[in-house]
Chain A
Amino acid sequence: GAGVSQSPRYKVAKRGQDVALRCDPISGHVSLFWYQQALGQGPEFLTYFQNEAQLDKSGLPSDRFFAERPEGSVSTLKIQRTQQEDSAVYLCASSSRDWGTVSREQYFGPGTRLTVT
């Protein structure tokens, strides 16, 4: 079946612009994660949804970052007033993990490479 998809794959934004990054998880997956991967680094956690509820947003670096998943499926990560330090690859992952289930594997999308000029 289809995997996790993300769009756009590449985004160039001028400093100060707002951007919106989309994630389509695997159908039926209740858990959705966003990670930020800076150049040459491992991914770092941003935020986590279980269905439409945002249960953890401890990794969001500032209040310019906002994520939503209003119907418990597609998610959007929005960055307002982009800064150069926001340049990174933004990865989305989904999982069938739910409280009480065994499976904890996260399936990753190809990422969106954001470049802020």
Chain B
Amino acid sequence: AQSVTQPDIHITVSEGASLELRCNYSYGATPYLFWYVQSPGQGLQLLLKYFSGDTLVQGIKGFEAEFKRSQSSFNLRKPSVHWSDAAEYFCAVENQGGKLIFGQGTELSVKP
């Protein structure tokens, strides 16, 4: 069955420090992968997506993610975190029917 695992429920990083959020997926075919961010009371905003091609994808707000087929991973990174990055982050894979299968999310806290 298709699934997405985000092993870290909650991460705290200092402002200015680097960030890596982990995502592992289970999917039989070539996956279409996404990272979304959700601020309190808000909908989901797309940070970046991987469809094919270059395995390192750049997104908005300085985020990037790397697709590693051998590890079934699609980890999200940012070199320097800002206080405004505090939010919930969701990794998702799209199945053949078009629906998104989400992980449980990682809550990011940023300390000054």
Determine which of A59, A91, A102, A104 lies in contact with B98 in the assembled complex, contact meaning CB atoms within 8 Å.
A104
Q: Does B56 make an interface contact (CB < 8 A)?
A: no
Q: Does A95 make an interface contact (CB < 8 A)?
A: yes
Q: Does B94 make an interface contact (CB < 8 A)?
A: yes
Are A106 and B100 in touch, CB under 8 angstroms? yes
Determine which of A41, A55, A91, A105 lies in contact with B105 in the assembled complex, contact meaning CB atoms within 8 Å.
A41
Are B98 and A109 in touch, CB under 8 angstroms? no
Bound-state Cα–Cα, A116 to B87, Å: 26
Are B98 and A95 in touch, CB under 8 angstroms? yes
Q: Does B11 make an interface contact (CB < 8 A)?
A: no
Determine which of A56, A104, A108 lies in contact with B51 in the assembled complex, contact meaning CB atoms within 8 Å.
A104
Residues of B within 8 A of A19 (CB): none
Q: Does B32 make an interface contact (CB < 8 A)?
A: yes
Near B by CB (< 8 A), chain A positions 11-53 give 31, 33, 35, 40-45, 48
Asked whether A31 and B98 contact (CB < 8 A) given A42-B90, A43-B90, A110-B42, the answer is yes
Near A by CB (< 8 A), chain B positions 91-112 give 92, 94, 97-105
Bound-state Cα–Cα, A42 to B43, Å: 12
Smallest Cβ-Cβ distance to B99: which chain A residue: A45
Determine which of A40, A41, A105, A111 lies in contact with B46 in the assembled complex, contact meaning CB atoms within 8 Å.
A105
11 A-B contacts, Cβ less than 8 Å apart? A4-B43, A33-B100, A40-B105, A41-B105, A42-B4, A48-B99, A56-B99, A97-B98, A104-B94, A105-B34, A108-B36
